[in-house]
Amino acid sequence: MQSKRKLIKAGLEEDIIQKLISFGLSEYSSILAYSEWELFQLLDVDIYRARGIIQSVSRAVCQTFKGRTLDVILESKSRKAGYLASTIDPLDRHLLGGIPSGSVTEIVSQAGMGKTQMCHMLSVIATLPVDKGGLDGGVIYYDTETAFSAERLVEMAREKYPEEFKGATDIERLVNRVQKHSLQNLEVTIIEHKIKLIVLDSIASVVRKETRGDSAEKRTEAVSKEAALLKNLAEIFDIPVVVTNRVTKKYETGQSYVSPALGTLWAHSVNNRIVLDAQGDKRRMIIAKSPVSPVLSFYFTIRMEGIVCGEEGGVEMNPDNYWGQKIQMK
């Protein structure tokens, strides 16, 4: 009943409210996770009405925070920070600054290659002051694999930035800024805690849990919904969203290999794809998808302070089979 009152307050018509509730879309955040085209198809309304629904709900969100939502969005757009520097030199150089704001960046690999380590490192960096290369904000860390480690976060911070995290107060501030959270109803948290980075570790786990036993069509719908939600959060608040993804085994002409989970639909949904794999006994990072970089690779190691890379510029790779990137196993 309370959810219905919220939708009435947003100025939506009764028939639209009933349709939204029947599809489980009773929260502002769940409605805004859909594009106008998706609402047009889902609710069986014309495109102009679908657009009106999104506009009405968006206005209601802004009014809920008495203008603060709009102020935050306008402020973030005017700042144009643009990127979260990863401190991985060749990655930042080829992405023209680092992990871009307003978009979704995927890190994909088999287990044990460094996905979570990279997420921990980016979380530490995001909390740093702007003049130290950070975003001076909070982090939402959505941990579906129970891989998040506050101890590792603190260790990495102390090793990588000893001057910034030398006291108990500094460590307490870091831990308080990196929050484990759910993906739903994030607008309040993003605003109140000045969130500057969202980390989802991992997207494949979220989709698997939501669609266990469901049909392929339902899984496709879940992938589309999660992708829309993440992209909307990234774009509306102009912050980087980083997600990890697993690999799945495939077979081709008698040979087996692994490629990113969730298929082509998900691959098209992310703005950037970073692959971590192995070449012999070395770890390799590949920029497999980016609007600003060619497909290229460079080696890296994992140390106490996080991921460390050499100064080499990277080796360009053949972009064939772009979406079904074949990943070499360690």
Over the chain, what is the mean pLDDT?
Answer: 81
Q: How many domains does the chain have?
A: 2
Residue 132: per-residue pLDDT? 92
User: Which amino acid makes up residue 185?
Assistant: N
pLDDT bin (cut points 50, 70, 90) of residue 324 is: very low
Residues 162 and 41 in one domain: no
Are 306 and 234 part of one and the same domain? yes
Half-sphere exposure of 207 (CA within 13 A, CB side): 26
Letter string b/e over residues 29-50, b meaning 16 or more CB atoms within 10 A of that residue's CB: bbbbbbbbeebbeebebeeeeb
How does pLDDT run across 80-120, given as a tens digit for each residue?
558 999 999 999 999 999 999 999 999 998 888 999 999 99
pLDDT of residue 323: 41
Give the pLDDT confidence of 40-84 residue by residue, as tens digits.
878 888 878 888 898 888 888 776 555 555 555 555 554 555 899
Does residue 330 lie in a domain region?
no
Structural domain span for residue 153: 80-316
Share of the chain above pLDDT 70, in %: 78
Asked whether residue 175 is domain-assigned, the answer is yes
257 close to 90: Cβ distance less than 8 angstroms = no
Q: For residues 259 and 325, what is the distance between their CA atoms, to the nearest angstrom?
A: 6
**Judgement on whether residues 38 and 84 belong to the same structural domain of the protein:** no
- Residue 148 sits in the same domain as residue 193: yes
- Which of residues 64, 93, 119 is at a domain's end? 64
Q: Tens digit of pLDDT for each residue in 1-36? A: 566 778 888 889 999 988 888 888 888 877 887 777
Residues 44 and 84 in one domain: no
Assigned domain for 71 exists: no
87 located within any domain: yes
At 322, the pLDDT band (50, 70, 90 cuts) reads very low
> Mean pLDDT over residues 295-310, rounded?
90
120 lies in some domain: yes
* Residue 324 domain flag: no
Q: Within this chain, do residues 8 and 107 fall inside the same structural domain, yes or no?
A: no
CATH code for position 108: 3.40.50.300
Q: Does 40 lie in the same domain as 115?
A: no
Same domain, 45 and 14: yes
**pLDDT band for position 205 (50/70/90)?**
confident
